[in-house]
Amino acid sequence: MAGPAPTEGPELVPQDGVGEPDALQRLWTPHRMAYIRGEGKPDGQDSDGCPFCGLVRLDDAEALIIARGSTVYAVLNLYPYNPGHLMVVPYRHVADYTDLTAAETDELARFTQQAMRVARKVASPHGFNIGMNQGVVAGAGIAAHLHQHLVPRWGGDANFMPVIGHTKVLPQLLAETRTLLASAWAD
């Protein structure tokens, strides 16, 4: 015979959907928690602590910078969706696309075109996703400093690994990708 119903303990925690097996493998990356919390992200007009403003003071290889222009530079994304995922970033700490100067807008467009040419030469992608997220609610990870993403795409790049294996395959280290793209950019 069952005793009285418990008044506390794990039995009272609703179990529907909590801890249900989902067959996903987990790769714990505690260092990402600082990013999730927004630590070190610029939140306004001040460029202090802005990673995009800080990158330009580093060596290109160390910063994963592919090419530098007069008003913008191209840099690999530290958390790429696909191999060759890069960003075109203005040197000036500016959040809104409509606040770019004509020279910045022009060079951002020309760098994006060159990035496409270089990616085609180096990796032969079948297509690209190109764009920018304006504002935190639009998905910008660093909303205070505008940056345009260029993500090379291949047929089947969303194959069984992420869908069934729940694993993203990046076949090349970022430093190697940077070297290939920077060399091809100079050609």
Tell me the average pLDDT of the chain.
82
Using the structure block, give the residue that is written with the tokens 């790049």: 157
Residue 79, SS3? coil
Taking the domain 31-154+162-186, which CATH number applies? 3.30.428.10
What residues does each domain of the chain span? 31-154+162-186
**φ and ψ at residue 105, rounded to 5 degrees:** -60, -45
What are the distances in angstroms from CA 137 to CA 34, 50, 103, 125, 140?
19, 19, 28, 30, 7
Residues in contact with 140: Cβ distance below 8 Å, sequence separation at least 6, in sequence order: 132, 133, 134
Which residue numbers belong to the known binding site?
77, 149
Which residue numbers belong to the known binding site for substrate?
77, 149
The strand pair at 148-153 and 127-131 is best described as: antiparallel
Residues with a known catalytic role: 147
Task: Give per-residue pLDDT as tens, 105-146.
Answer: 999 999 999 999 999 999 999 999 999 999 888 888 888 999
Task: Give per-residue pLDDT as tens, 47-72.
Answer: 778 999 999 999 999 999 999 999 99
